[in-house]
């Protein structure tokens, strides 16, 4: 079945790359029926995507709308990819769910636990809809294989996990006006990079069955404070989960070099697994006596994680199988990002859940 897909928001990195991936999957699988630019002017679009409205329409051979309401009414998409600004995602996701579409949101799903709750509530009210969000790190081949190995029990009972995220450095001179993630009032580094780490920890430590109980974070602006850059560029945190499991995260956005973007390390009672993001190669070390080699590298490759994620979303819509990072996973990740932000601001541990009565 050919899935009718649309995009709400054309002003972000993910707007362009979601549209690219949808077109790359081909017309026998996906029909990109429309995109909504949400009234963003050409100067802002060019600044953040290098495409004007007409340029976006021509590059992806897609019909453009100003309002999301008109896009939904006239194209009736089966899948809506929400790539709007962080603070607007809950509104557009809820609108698309109400229209009858499945919804896949770019990273981060939103920028507050309250907005994450709004998206989750809309999804729960329509259980026939698929609703989920993107974490590109889940689609790096070594990290995916690492998760499969952990789930299969290669390490025995999982005890700890560490997520390491590095994305270069802030450019304090860049114009942030109109940025879907980094303008004032959006999620900023706390959510844009925090989402990677929060979701990876939850994924590997199985927060669905052993949820996070408490966290403590320290954030600072160590390399761009003098310039007035408003977002943190360095963060560290620890998380306590049920059954005594421990997670930790490191976020670096302070060093202007092309270091690897994501790494994960997991320790269990029978072994330790680590991916090295320099070439996405994973390594497993095992205790003596197992039938497998004691040291085993795997998955030396680089990946188009966005294409893999959109391919997964289209398969899910076609086969009516859940998105891997569903709305519940997305909520938990945003909740942990929110807790880290609160902890860093107050210098106090934060107890989870943040909205205990919901």
Q: Encode pLDDT of 35-51 as tens digits.
A: 999 999 999 999 999 99
The pLDDT tens digits for 312-354 are 999 999 999 999 999 999 999 999 999 999 999 999 999 999 9
Q: Are residues 130 and 145 in the same domain?
A: no
The reply to whether 316 falls in a domain is: no
Find the domain containing 247 and state its range. Answer: 137-307+334-351
CATH number at 271 reads 3.30.360.10
pLDDT-derived band at 94 (thresholds 50, 70, 90) equals very high
Answer yes or no: is pLDDT of 86 > 80: yes
Over residues 289-314, mean pLDDT: 77
| 178 CB neighbour count, 10 Å cutoff | 18
Answer yes or no: is pLDDT of 7 > 50: yes
pLDDT-derived band at 223 (thresholds 50, 70, 90) equals confident
Over residues 218-224, mean pLDDT: 92
Q: Are residues 10 and 153 in the same domain?
A: no
Answer yes or no: is pLDDT of 149 > 50: yes
Q: Are residues 292 and 145 in the same domain?
A: yes
Under 8 Å between Cβ of 81 and 22:
yes
Under 8 Å between Cβ of 285 and 295:
yes
Indicate left, alpha or beta for 320 from its phi (over 0: left) and psi (-120 to 50: alpha): left
Give phi and psi for 260, each to the nearest 5.
-65, 150
The pLDDT score that the predictor gives to residue 225 is: 80
pLDDT-derived band at 168 (thresholds 50, 70, 90) equals confident
The pLDDT score that the predictor gives to residue 256 is: 80
The pLDDT score that the predictor gives to residue 289 is: 57
Answer yes or no: is pLDDT of 291 > 70: no
The reply to whether 358 falls in a domain is: no
Indicate left, alpha or beta for 164 from its phi (over 0: left) and psi (-120 to 50: alpha): beta
The reply to whether 80 falls in a domain is: yes
Measure the CA–CA gap between 137 and 107, rounded to whole angstroms: 11
Measure the CA–CA gap between 36 and 64, rounded to whole angstroms: 6
Over residues 66-72, mean pLDDT: 98
Q: Which residue has the higher pLDDT, 284 or 54?
A: 54
State the total domains in the chain: 2
**Boundary-marking domain end, from 100, 135, 170:** 135
Q: Are residues 126 and 199 in the same domain?
A: no
Measure the CA–CA gap between 199 and 204, rounded to whole angstroms: 9
The residues pairing with 216 across neighbouring beta strands, listed in sequence order, are 238
Answer yes or no: is pLDDT of 60 > 60: yes
The reply to whether 75 falls in a domain is: yes
The pLDDT tens digits for 251-273 are 999 988 766 788 999 999 999 99
The pLDDT score that the predictor gives to residue 280 is: 46
Q: Are residues 14 and 122 in the same domain?
A: yes
Q: Are residues 75 and 151 in the same domain?
A: no
Q: Are residues 254 and 209 in the same domain?
A: yes
Answer yes or no: is pLDDT of 127 > 60: yes
Quote the mean pLDDT of the chain.
93
**Boundary-marking domain end, from 108, 135, 162:** 135
Listed in sequence order, the residues at least 6 apart from 227 whose beta carbon sits closer than 8 Å to its beta carbon are 172, 173
Q: Are residues 149 and 255 in the same domain?
A: yes
pLDDT-derived band at 297 (thresholds 50, 70, 90) equals low
Q: Are residues 122 and 204 in the same domain?
A: no
**Boundary-marking domain end, from 135, 169, 190:** 135
Over residues 70-88, mean pLDDT: 98
Measure the CA–CA gap between 261 and 277, rounded to whole angstroms: 6
Q: Are residues 239 and 272 in the same domain?
A: yes
The pLDDT score that the predictor gives to residue 160 is: 98
pLDDT-derived band at 287 (thresholds 50, 70, 90) equals low
């Amino acid at each position: 079945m050919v899935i009718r897909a649309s995009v709400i928001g054309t002003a972000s990195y993910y707007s362009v790359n979601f549209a690219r991936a949808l077109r790359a999957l081909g017309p026998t699988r996906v029909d990109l029926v429309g995109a909504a630019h949400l009234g963003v002017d050409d100067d802002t679009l060019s600044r953040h995507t290098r495409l004007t409205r007409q340029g976006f329409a021509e590059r992806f051979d897609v019909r453009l709308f100003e309002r999301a309401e008109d896009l939904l009414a006239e194209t009736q998409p089966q899948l809506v990819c929400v790539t709007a600004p962080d603070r607007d995602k809950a509104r557009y996701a809820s609108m698309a769910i109400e229209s009858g579409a499945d919804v896949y949101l770019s990273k981060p799903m939103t920028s507050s636990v309250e907005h994450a709750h709004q998206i989750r509530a809309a999804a729960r009210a329509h259980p026939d809809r698929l609703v989920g969000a993107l974490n590109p790190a889940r689609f790096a081949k070594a990290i995916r294989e690492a998760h499969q190995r952990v789930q299969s029990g290669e390490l025995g009972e999982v005890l700890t996990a560490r997520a390491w995220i590095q994305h270069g450095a802030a450019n304090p001179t860049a114009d942030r006006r109109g940025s879907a993630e980094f303008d004032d009032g959006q999620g900023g580094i706390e959510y844009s990079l925090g989402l990677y780490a929060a979701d990876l920890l939850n994924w590997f430590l199985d927060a669905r069955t052993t949820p996070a109980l408490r966290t403590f974070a320290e954030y600072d602006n160590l390399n761009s404070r003098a310039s007035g850059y408003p977002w943190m560029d360095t963060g560290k945190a620890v998380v306590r989960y049920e059954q005594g499991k421990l997670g930790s995260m490191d976020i670096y956005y302070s060093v202007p070099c092309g270091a690897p973007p994501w790494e994960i390390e997991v320790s269990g009672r029978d072994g330790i697994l680590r991916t090295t993001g320099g070439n996405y190669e994973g390594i497993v070390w095992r205790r003596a006596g197992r039938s497998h080699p004691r040291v085993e590298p795997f998955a030396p490759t680089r990946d188009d994680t966005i294409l893999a994620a959109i391919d997964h979303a289209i398969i899910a819509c076609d086969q009516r199988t859940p998105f891997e990072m569903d709305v519940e996973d997305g909520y938990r990740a945003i909740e942990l990002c929110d807790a880290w932000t609160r902890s860093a601001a107050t210098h106090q541990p934060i107890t989870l859940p943040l909205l205990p009565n919901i």
